[in-house]
Homo-oligomer: A and B are copies of this chain.
Amino acid sequence: VTEAESFHVVPIDERAAEAARVRIDALTKPLGSLGRIEDLAIQLSAIAGRVVDRAYERKAILIGAGDHGVADDGVSAYPSEVTPQMVGAFLAGHAAINAFARAVGAQVYVADFGVRTASEPSDALIDVAVGRGTGNFARGEAAMTADQAQRALAAGRNAVTNVLARAPYDVIALGDMGIGNTTSAAAIVAACTGASAVEVTDRGTGVDDARLARKRDVVGRGIAGLRDASWETIACAVGGFEIVGLAGAILAIAERRLPIVLDGYIVAAAALLAQRIAPASIDFCIASHRSRERGHAVALQELGLKPLFDLDLRLGEASGAALALPLVEAATRMISEMLTFAEAGVSGEAETAPS
């Protein structure tokens, strides 16, 4: 049994979704007037396997970090040394995601799935590295071995186990850090969706036209022969230790029937790998935002997910996912704390308010 085969994702509970719909329709508000917050409460109930009856206040953010051989080919505006520097910033608490996490009351954890330079031990650091940077697929190297791909999936599960051992979190937001990883993600998205290199490759951290052209060329060469390939073949070819690790995290959280809030492009690529392993895992996922990175919409369409908002973000680090956590909490408080028309003694109307 491979690691991929060891994940047991049970489908979400459609009966709980139906029961949630009935309760929401009886609450003191016009029918359907809370739109996507209602949809969210229904999905969260289907995930939990029962109508949600409490506030999801305990929020974790898990950032998967890894380095990419392809970063040596000038596909990013930043050098690989920025990956461990930013991991250090996350652990010290002064990066964007830390500011956002404080704004939404979430705890930040970093899983090192394969950064070139290991970080100093820290309470929020989960060291599950399966290598020290991937091979450079722009030079014809494999990103990783099949054994590493399987171990990266297992590392994702281990990271989730570690996070949930700290506190019984209600929801986990996933994000990424890895210089060069929009190139790896683009190749994965192209391989999983059939889209062209041009359709999935964008400026990432903000490369200029020349680097964008080079990046497209690298992605185009990377995906040669990957159409209809297995998740493992794709992972081995174009990598991303943190992308495969995040796929494992998605599967592991789904296995535990908890909601997963996806960040942007990199995490969407991870979700596409998870989808190939266990399609039911995607029903546990909530797409937070639509990134400015053009391939993100392609990935979301393949996943069948509609983002909650579009704030023109393109940072990663789970920054968009963090901002969706209050919406998740609001949905759970709506369904568990609001009274029905009958309970509140508010006059409804026969044609719109249920008895």
Contact = CB atoms under 8 A, between A and B. Distances in A.
B338 A95 contact: yes
A81 interface: yes
A100 B337 CA distance: 10
Given A30-B206, A333-B99, A36 B85 contact: no
Contact of A37 (B292, B313, B339): B313
Contacts of A96: 27-29, 34, 334, 338
- Where chain A touches its partner, the secondary structure class is loop
A100 B37 CA distance: 10
A99 B208 contact: no
Q: How many copies does the complex hold?
A: 2
Interface string A17-44: 0000000000111111111110000000
A34 B334 contact: no
A333 B100 CA distance: 7
Contact of A99 (B81, B315, B338): B338
Interface stretch (A120-128, A168-176, A192-200, A346-354): A346-354
Interface residues of A, number: 63
Interface string A319-355: 1001100110110011001110000111111011000
B339 A94 contact: yes
Interface in A288-305: 292
Nearest to A203: B30
A326 B103 contact: yes
B333 A34 contact: no
A35 to B, nearest CB: 3
A308 B347 CA distance: 33
Interface string A91-121: 0001110111011110000000000000000
Contacts of A204: 30
A72 interface: no
Contacts of A348: 78
Given A30-B78, A36-B311, A78-B349, 10 more contacts: A28-B96, A33-B206, A33-B315, A34-B313, A37-B311, A98-B337, A99-B334, A99-B338, A105-B105, A323-B327
Interface of A: 27-37, 55, 77-79, 81-82, 85-86, 89, 94-96, 98-100, 102-105, 204-206, 208, 292, 308-315, 319, 322-323, 326-327, 329-330, 333-334, 337-339, 344-349, 351-352
